[in-house]
Amino acid sequence: MQVPSVPPSPNAEAPLQLLLFVDKRPNSREQIRQIRSYLKELEAHFDYDLQVIDVSEQPYLVEHFKLVVTPALIKIHPEPRQTLTGNNLVLQIGYCWPRWQRSVEEYLAACQTQPTPLEAASDRPRISSIVNTAELIRLSDEIFHLKQQQEELKEQLEFKDRIIAMLAHDLRNPLTAAAIAVETLELSQDPNDVRASRLTPALTSQLLKHARTQIREIDRMITDILQAARGNTTEIRVQPQVLNLGQLCTSTLEQFKEKLQLKAQRLETDIPADLPLVYADREWVRQVLLNLLDNASKYTPEFGVIQVSILHRTTQKVQVSVCDNGPGIPEADRERIFKEKVRLPRDEGQEGYGLGLSLCQRVIRAHYGQIWVDSVVNQGSCFHFTLPVYRT
């Protein structure tokens, strides 16, 4: 059933003005017919204006009048405004009509005694003005949403440009290091190159290890970017398994030591041997550890200290902590840093995209764990996360 939306009222000056809100249910047309017929039967000695509104076509009017059910009939003039709801509107109109009639007669009498009745008439609420107000509200909301979309698109474009620039810079370092290691190893395969004799088994092993480390670094950076491209709404899919968290943490730290040595940073660990097993995705947890270690190394000065510890916090959770003695994080920013693409003033001149902590949070939440930071400005930060203990 097609219910007409509000047209310009032919009786804009009618002293009694009514709005009837209906929906597209099959019985709405019959309700409209009954109400129109009943109003004609009342034989009012004054003009009235009844406008029918389809709530699906005029949702902003519904919001304007704070309606929760249909059908609904609203007397918008004379004041006070009155709202009738339910399927027995005809009975309710009959009960209210004597009062409405008196209020119209009092209004008309007052208009005759006022020196400027036209001004008084122009001040009263009209159906057309209410419809225009609702339309302005709708247009304002649309403009607001369009501005939001514009800002989001602008942010995405700026983020894309920043990613391209940083990617070109950040990928070059590990790529160059890996390439040098591989090229040096190639010398050992050339019997005619005198430099090949210098490649001892220990040096060969060290070069292979260095190349693997750099390739893992590239892989971690690409993972961060791909996850960011999918957006925060994309669910992180984890494949949990029974996991020895202590062993995973130890192997990850071993993998990361070479990067710490570049800044002469010292690593202190407290990983108990009797930790309970956890139920988590090995590769995703490794990614979280690498991201937190990378951040710690990035903000810890040369010859600084990075501490990694694991605590059997409760019977249900194990807590991992990665601490640094860097510049710290202001209290106002400690929630923001876990949002995607957020970079603090301290990040200027630092590598990275503002993606790592957002990804860490999504991974830990996918494990039903928590991640947070404790920090003291100019003293350092400690990032903590929890994972569920495996229950047999």
- Residue 82 inside a domain? The answer is yes
Q: How many domains are contained in the chain?
A: 3
Same domain, 257 and 345: yes
Question: Over 80: is that where the pLDDT of 242 sits?
Answer: yes
Same domain, 245 and 366: yes
Average pLDDT, the chain: 78
Grade residue 310 by pLDDT with cuts at 50, 70 and 90.
very high
CA distance 144 to 147: 5
Own/partner long-range contacts of 106-111 (Cβ < 8 Å, ≥24 apart): 106/78, 107/15, 107/78, 108/15, 108/46
pLDDT at 2: 42
Grade residue 231 by pLDDT with cuts at 50, 70 and 90.
low
pLDDT at 293: 92
Grade residue 120 by pLDDT with cuts at 50, 70 and 90.
very low
H-helix or E-strand containing 178? helix 127-187
- Residue 235 inside a domain? The answer is no
Rounded to the nearest 5 percent, the helix, strand and coil shares of the chain are 50, 15, 30
- The torsion defined by the Cα of 200, 206, 209 and 215, in degrees rounded to 10, comes to -100
124 token code pair? 């009263």
Same domain, 245 and 302: yes
Q: Are the C-beta atoms of 356 and 347 separated by less than 8 Å?
A: no
pLDDT at 186: 75
Grade residue 7 by pLDDT with cuts at 50, 70 and 90.
very low
Same domain, 193 and 281: no
- Residue 51 inside a domain? The answer is yes
pLDDT at 43: 66
**CATH classification of the domain holding 200:** 1.10.287
Can you tell me whether residue 308 is helix, strand or coil?
Answer: strand
- Helices marked H in 66-126: 89-113, 117-123
Residue with tokens 């690593």, as numbered in its chain:
267
CA distance 54 to 59: 8
Can you tell me whether residue 255 is helix, strand or coil?
Answer: helix
pLDDT at 308: 95
Domain boundary among 196, 230, 264: 230
Same domain, 220 and 105: no
The model's pLDDT over 62-72, given as tens digits with 9 standing for 90+, comes to 877 888 888 99
Same domain, 303 and 335: yes
φ, ψ for residue 158, nearest 5 deg = -65, -40
CA distance 75 to 63: 16
Grade residue 117 by pLDDT with cuts at 50, 70 and 90.
very low
Same domain, 109 and 157: no
CA distance 352 to 109: 76
Same domain, 222 and 249: no
pLDDT at 1: 42
User: What average pLDDT does the segment 118-136 reach?
Assistant: 56
The more confident residue out of 277 and 10 is 277
What is the C-alpha end-to-end distance of the chain, expressed in Å?
A: 60
Grade residue 4 by pLDDT with cuts at 50, 70 and 90.
very low
The model's pLDDT over 81-91, given as tens digits with 9 standing for 90+, comes to 889 988 889 99
User: What average pLDDT does the segment 129-148 reach?
Assistant: 71
Question: Over 50: is that where the pLDDT of 258 sits?
Answer: yes
pLDDT at 378: 86
Question: Over 80: is that where the pLDDT of 392 sits?
Answer: no
**CATH classification of the domain holding 68:** 3.40.30.10
- Residue 255 inside a domain? The answer is yes
Domain boundary among 210, 230, 250: 230
**Share of residues in the chain with pLDDT > 70 (%):** 74
The model's pLDDT over 14-70, given as tens digits with 9 standing for 90+, comes to 888 888 898 888 888 888 898 888 888 886 677 888 888 888 887 878 877 888 888
Same domain, 98 and 201: no
The more confident residue out of 344 and 274 is 274
Pairing of strands 278-280, 241-243: antiparallel
Q: Which of 99, 258, 244, 111 is nearest to 178 (CA)?
A: 258
Question: Over 80: is that where the pLDDT of 136 sits?
Answer: no
71 token code pair? 């059908």
H-helix or E-strand containing 219? helix 201-230
User: What average pLDDT does the segment 150-169 reach?
Assistant: 68
Domain boundary among 230, 255, 270: 230
Same domain, 90 and 118: yes
Same domain, 226 and 251: no
pLDDT at 243: 94
Same domain, 275 and 213: no
Grade residue 355 by pLDDT with cuts at 50, 70 and 90.
low
- Residue 132 inside a domain? The answer is no
Q: Which domain holds residue 376?
A: 241-388
- Residue 304 inside a domain? The answer is yes
- Residue 27 inside a domain? The answer is yes
The model's pLDDT over 330-339, given as tens digits with 9 standing for 90+, comes to 888 888 888 7
**CATH classification of the domain holding 291:** 3.30.565.10
User: What average pLDDT does the segment 204-216 reach?
Assistant: 77
User: What average pLDDT does the segment 367-373 reach?
Assistant: 93
CA distances, 291 to each of 28, 52, 66, 246 (Å):
61, 61, 49, 17
Q: Which of 69-73, 157-161, 206-210, 218-222 has the highest mean pLDDT?
A: 69-73
- Residue 2 inside a domain? The answer is no
